[in-house]
Amino acid sequence: METNNNILEIKDLSVSYTVANVVTHVLEKVNLTVPKGKSVGLVGESGCGKTTTMRAILGVLPSNANIESGEILFNGTDVLKMPYNQLQEFRQTGAGLIFQDPSSALNPVISIKKQFLTSLKYAHKDKNYSSAQLYDKAIEALNAVSLADPKRIMNSFPFQLSGGMRQRVCIAMTLAGEKELLLADEPGTALDVTIQDQILRLIKNLVETLDLSVIMVTHSLGVIRQVTTEVNVMYAGSIVEGGDTHQVFEHPSHPYTIALMDCLPKLTGTGISEGIPGRIPDYDHPPAGCRFYPRCTYALDRCKSEVPGKTIVEDDHWVACFAAEEGKVCPK
Ligand SMILES: Nc1ncnc2c1ncn2[C@@H]1O[C@H](COP(=O)(O)OP(=O)(O)OP(=O)(O)O)[C@@H](O)[C@H]1O
Ligand SMILES: [Mg+2]
């Protein structure tokens, strides 16, 4: 098998949802790559398909979702084709998901100790660790996420911990399970900003010290800039621009990315701007060409009917936009 340095490669992934016999085509040929030991961002406004992408990776989409096409290669093996046992194994040992709302990831009526040890038992089932060894691993991981008094935490129920503590417990479980890929879906946004900042710094630190690979999902470009080395900008179910975080911030080239950056509150400027006019298109009847076309100030005639391919902007930076390809997009 071809070996490369990517822990995850999503290729042309399309996902729809069926509600009352109506099929909505949400993800449209998503391509996303995570190199080993890197933190990769996925950014876009609410409803663009970020959580759908994360759930697809772990094979935990809701029952009304349909994978129309595509591949999700984890260390070269397609998650979508894994038999059930292998998929369970992948979830227990390969990748872990941290949810936006940390309370939904832990069972409120089972002690942290029981949940932690059960998850570790699965993650290390071929290693024959004793219960005492697993307990020590859990304590070590709780220490690594800077939780004071890990023994008290082990004996607590989730409802006895704060939101920030619960989220740290979830990260510790991923670490102690020695999972290779962390999917962080807006970690900390349900918490106050100081705690959110601490969680983000913790993840960044773990990537640097433990070689963990991360997909950081957020609607905040500030978070992307702080935590990731590569970024993917998603609009209405497609990645429209991607590459090295620094290059994308220096030369944003898709009109949507430019508009998103324009919406960042400016510390020195005129305050919070108005947001991007219009809204994400109706997924039941998406525009035939570029999905951003109806909101785009640079739109050309062909954007209405043709879907743009990738144009290289610079060595590690691409964009899917006809106007950018023709040199007609100029960031302010
Ligand atoms: N179970 C479902 N059934 C039908 N449609 C769904 C379902 N889950 C998500 N969707 C639709 O898919 C689209 C993408 O949703 P998703 O949750 O992936 O967006 P998101 O980018 O994570 O948004 P947010 O930033 O608000 O979390 C939305 O239009 C949403 O309504
Ligand atoms: Mg989401």
pLDDT, tens only, 239-252: 999 999 999 999 99
Residue 216 amino acid letter: M
**203 — phi, psi (to 5°)?**
-65, -45
Residues with CB under 5 A from ligand 2 (ion): 50-51
- Report the residue among 16, 28, 50 best suited for mutation to probe ligand 1: largest number of ligand atoms under 8 A from its CB: 50
The residue to which tokens 């040199």 are assigned:
327
3-state helix, strand, coil in the chain (%, to 5): 35, 25, 40
Give the per-residue pLDDT at 331: 65
- Segment 280-292 mean pLDDT: 87
- CA dist., res. 301 & res. 143, Å (int): 58
Residue 14 amino acid letter: S
CA 50 to ligand 1 centroid distance, Å: 8
**How far apart are the two ends of the chain, measured CA to CA in Å?**
46
Do 204 and 147 contact (CB within 8 A), yes or no?
no
pLDDT value at 2 more than 60: no
CA 46 to ligand 2 centroid distance, Å: 7
Q: How many CB atoms lie within 10 A of CB 306?
A: 14
CA 216 to ligand 1 centroid distance, Å: 17
pLDDT-derived band at 60 (thresholds 50, 70, 90) equals: confident
Give the per-residue pLDDT at 269: 45
pLDDT value at 193 more than 90: no
**187 — phi, psi (to 5°)?**
-65, 135
Give the per-residue pLDDT at 267: 46
Instruction: Enter the pTM of the model.
Output: 0.88
Report the nearest atom of ligand 1 relative to the CA of 45: 25
Report the nearest atom of ligand 1 relative to the CA of 53: 18
- Report the residue among 17, 67, 283 best suited for mutation to probe ligand 1: largest number of ligand atoms under 8 A from its CB: 17
pLDDT-derived band at 9 (thresholds 50, 70, 90) equals: very high
- Beta-strand ranges (E) seen in the chain are 6-19, 22-35, 39-43, 65-74, 77-78, 95-98, 181-185, 213-218, 230-235, 238-244, 311-314, 317-319
**SS3 of residue 95 by DSSP:** strand
CA 114 to ligand 1 centroid distance, Å: 32
Do 46 and 95 contact (CB within 8 A), yes or no?
no
pLDDT, tens only, 122-174: 888 888 889 999 999 999 989 888 888 999 999 999 999 988 888 889 888 88
CA neighbours closer than 13 Å in the CB half-sphere of residue 146: 10
Give the per-residue pLDDT at 303: 96
Helix 131-144 crosses helix 112-123 at what angle (to 10 degrees)?
110
For atom 29 of ligand 1, the residue with the nearest CA is: 47
pLDDT value at 270 more than 50: no
Average pLDDT, the chain: 88
Q: How many CB atoms lie within 10 A of CB 219?
A: 17
CA 280 to ligand 1 centroid distance, Å: 12
Q: What domains appear along the chain, each with residue ranges and CATH number?
A: 6-325 (3.40.50.300)
CA 27 to ligand 2 centroid distance, Å: 13
CA angle 309, 314, 319 (to 5 degrees): 25
Ligand 1, CB cutoff 6 Å, lining residues: 17, 19, 26, 44, 46-52, 62, 64, 219, 283
Report the nearest atom of ligand 1 relative to the CA of 49: 18
In the chain, % of residues over pLDDT 90: 55
pLDDT value at 263 more than 70: no
